[in-house]
Amino acid sequence: MMTLHSRALQKTTIGLVCLILFTGCYYQPSTPRGSFARGGDVGWLSEMEHDSVRFYDANGKEGDCLSIMQEMGMNAIRLRVWVNHSTGWSNKPDVVYMAKRAAKQGLRVMIDFHYSDFFADPAHQEIPAAWKDYNYEQLCEAVQAHTLDVLYALKEEGVKPEWVQIGNETPNGMLWPVGKVEMNPEKDPVKEAQWAQYAGLTIAGCKAAKEAFDDIITIIHVDNAYLYRDWFFDELIGHGCKFDMIGLSHYPMMGEWSGLPWQEMNICAEENVRKLIDTFHKPVMIAEVGIKNSDWKNGQEVNPDSIAALSNEVMTDFVNRVCAIDSCVGIFYWEPQCYGGWKPAEYIPLGWGSYQMGALTPDGRPTPALQTLFNAKK
């Protein structure tokens, strides 16, 4: 019987053979690597197209969503990878399809590994069903094999991602309970052991990413940009993890979560980006931003014009702050193409409502807030 270790080695060997055979002909981005990223996380786009959702430019002309946004100034996309969600979306074939399509259009690509079968975030970091009985060492091998599998699949299709996230919103670790962590100012030995395991899992992902593409930019991503988390990066680096960039999420109109008005959340986010850059000497990417763009009650959208105006005010303030920071290297809007109450398949059995922080109008046109982001200049 083939062991997990031998399977991981087999995947690595296959990847190395692909690397030897690969001619080096990658799709070339239309904007230079390292330039300011004006991005969109479009992980739901292929599913929306499958559901016959239509997209329009500012003049109401129907068109391809990626092309419309690229013409507005978008130069990069971000795609999440799940190990195996039951719906079949955001898996390896879906991600390879979308990444190749974007790369052929000259867009730069970020790959966001969740290392889960569903959304990973600070409250949910579930081990994939196929890995549920693995111990720490086996999980490290699985992280390595999964990362290589996806990245070599992209390489074979001529796609060279510029960035890769090793985990999504991981201030509490990932692959729980094995890689679950918390603040540990007293250096409790049990908590230290957990930090060592989270770091080991992250190192496995980073090493695999560099094996696939030696110049890929590895990102460690946490939520809530308005919170300063030097302790998290101190611990991770102190446990031997080497990475290239810090990623942050920022949802400034979600004051019910923070208890802060959006103005203060934007100010705090700017201050924290500057402090993280100064402390850890790494660039920062705003890997997710979302601003409330609709309010639905009883199946009807409420006050769309006033919400759109406020959204643009919030976005303009945030973009101006970020663009004034030399080593803040980009912003990605999370699922900007959402509108009209559309819901992904995974939301339906959970009874969740539609996502209300997309960046299109009720009739599928770009909002002023989205144009503000895609007009961002450094």
pLDDT tens per residue across span 306-343: 777 889 999 999 999 999 999 999 999 999 999 988 99
Q: CATH classification of 4-374, choosing from 3.30.70.3270, 3.40.47.10, 3.20.20.80, 1.10.357.10?
A: 3.20.20.80
Element housing 300 (H / E):
strand 300-301
The domain locations on the chain are 4-374
The pLDDT tens digits of the residues spanning 26-70 come to 999 999 999 999 999 999 999 999 999 999 999 999 999 999 999
Cβ neighbours for 221, distance < 8 A, ≥ 6 positions apart: 112, 165, 167, 168, 169, 170, 246, 247, 248, 249, 287
Q: Is the pLDDT of residue 363 over 70?
A: yes
Q: Is 29 left (phi over 0), alpha (psi -120 to 50) or beta?
A: beta
Output the six-digit token pair for 95: 């991600």
Q: Quote the pTM value.
A: 0.92
Answer yes or no: are the C-beta atoms of 207 and 145 closer than 8 Å.
Answer: no
Taking the CA atoms of the chain, what radius of gyration do you get in angstroms?
20
Q: Which two tokens stand for residue 354?
A: 């539609």
**How far apart are alpha carbons 336 and 223 in whole angstroms?**
18
Distance, CA of 26 to CA of 178 (rounded, Å): 37
The SS3 of residue 147 is: helix
**CA 178, 200, 202, 128 torsion: positive or negative?**
negative
Residue 14 pLDDT more than 50? no
